[in-house]
Amino acid sequence: MNVNNKPCRTIWPDPTRPEIIHIIDQRQLPHRFEVEELRTLTDFVTAIRDMHVRGAGLIGATAGFAMYAALASHEGLPDQRVLLQAAAALVAARPTARNLAWAVERQLAAITAEPDRGRWQATAFAEACAIADEDADFCRRIGEHGLAIIQAISEKKGGAEVNILTHCNAGWLAFVDYGSATAPIYAAQAAGIPVHVWVDETRPWLQGAKLTAWELGQQGVAHTLIADNTGGHLMQHGLVDLVIVGTDRTTRSGDVANKIGTYLKALAAKDNNVPFYVALPSSTFDWEIRDGVAEIPIEQRPGAEILAITGQTASGSLATVRIAPIDTQTANYAFDVTPARLVTGLITERGVCQANEAAILALYPETR
Ligand code: MRU
Given 241, 248, 255, 286, which residue is catalytic? 248
Task: Return the sign of the alpha-carbon dihedral for residues 124, 70, 211, 259.
Answer: positive
Instruction: Based on the fold, state whether residues 118 and 265 are members of the same structural domain.
Output: no
Instruction: Based on the fold, state whether residues 312 and 333 are members of the same structural domain.
Output: yes
Name the residue of 58, 100, 135, 169 to mutate for ligand 1: max ligand atoms within 8 A of Cβ: 169
Instruction: Based on the fold, state whether residues 194 and 340 are members of the same structural domain.
Output: yes
Can you give the pLDDT at residue 18? Answer: 85
Instruction: Based on the fold, state whether residues 98 and 229 are members of the same structural domain.
Output: no
* Closest C-alpha residue for ligand 1 atom 6: 55
d(CA 248, CA 79): 31
d(CA 302, CA 165): 28
Please choose, from the candidates 53, 128, 121, 124, the residue with its C-alpha nearest in 3D space to the C-alpha of residue 93: 53
Phi–psi pair at 164, nearest 5 degrees: -120, 130
Q: Ligand 1 within 6 A of 56 CB?
A: yes
Can you give the pLDDT at residue 307? Answer: 97
Q: Ligand 1 within 6 A of 171 CB?
A: no
Phi–psi pair at 82, nearest 5 degrees: -60, -45
Can you give the pLDDT at residue 316? Answer: 93
Instruction: Based on the fold, state whether residues 100 and 209 are members of the same structural domain.
Output: no
Q: In which residue ranges of the chain is pLDDT below 50?
A: none
Instruction: Based on the fold, state whether residues 157 and 72 are members of the same structural domain.
Output: no
Query: In this structure, what is the dihedral angle of CA atoms 180, 30, 269, 228, given to the nearest 10 degrees?
Result: 150
Q: Atom of ligand 1 at shortest distance to CA of 280?
A: 15
Q: Look at residues 97, 117, 134 and tell me which one is the last residue of a structural domain.
A: 134
Q: 122, 156 in Cβ contact below 8 A?
A: no
Please choose, from the candidates 188, 211, 191, the residue with its C-alpha nearest in 3D space to the C-alpha of residue 201: 211
Q: 220, 186 in Cβ contact below 8 A?
A: no
Instruction: Based on the fold, state whether residues 129 and 154 are members of the same structural domain.
Output: no
DSSP code at position 333:
B
Instruction: Based on the fold, state whether residues 154 and 238 are members of the same structural domain.
Output: yes
Q: Ligand 1 within 6 A of 174 CB?
A: yes
Q: Ligand 1 within 6 A of 183 CB?
A: no
Which CATH number goes with the domain that contains 57?
Answer: 1.20.120.420
DSSP code at position 339:
-
Q: 45, 86 in Cβ contact below 8 A?
A: no
Give residue 51's domain range: 2-134
Number of domains in the chain: 2
Q: Atom of ligand 1 at shortest distance to CA of 54?
A: 4
Q: Look at residues 83, 107, 134 and tell me which one is the last residue of a structural domain.
A: 134
Q: 33, 86 in Cβ contact below 8 A?
A: no
Q: Ligand 1 within 6 A of 168 CB?
A: yes
Which CATH number goes with the domain that contains 202?
Answer: 3.40.50.10470
Q: Look at residues 79, 107, 134 and tell me which one is the last residue of a structural domain.
A: 134
**Plot region of 243 (φ>0 → left; ψ -120 to 50 → alpha; else → beta):** beta
Q: Cα–Cα distances in Å, from 14 out to 23, 48, 66, 171?
A: 10, 19, 14, 23
Can you give the pLDDT at residue 159? Answer: 98
Give 75-131 as a DSSP string. Answer: -SS--HHHHHHHHHHHHHH-SS-HHHHHHHHHHHHHHHT-S-GGGHHHHHHHHHHHH
**Coil, strand or helix at 257:** strand
Instruction: Based on the fold, state whether residues 177 and 312 are members of the same structural domain.
Output: yes
Instruction: Based on the fold, state whether residues 158 and 304 are members of the same structural domain.
Output: yes
**Which of 27-35's residues contact partners 24+ apart within 8 Å by CB, and which partners?**
27/51, 27/52, 28/318, 29/173, 29/210, 29/211, 29/214, 30/210, 30/211, 30/213, 30/214, 31/311, 31/312, 31/316, 31/318, 32/318, 33/3
Q: Atom of ligand 1 at shortest distance to CA of 245?
A: 12
Q: Could you confirm whether 248 is annotated as catalytic?
A: yes
293 CB neighbour count, 10 Å cutoff = 14
On average, the pLDDT of the chain sits at 97
Can you give the pLDDT at residue 58? Answer: 98
Instruction: Based on the fold, state whether residues 91 and 156 are members of the same structural domain.
Output: no
Instruction: Based on the fold, state whether residues 89 and 214 are members of the same structural domain.
Output: no
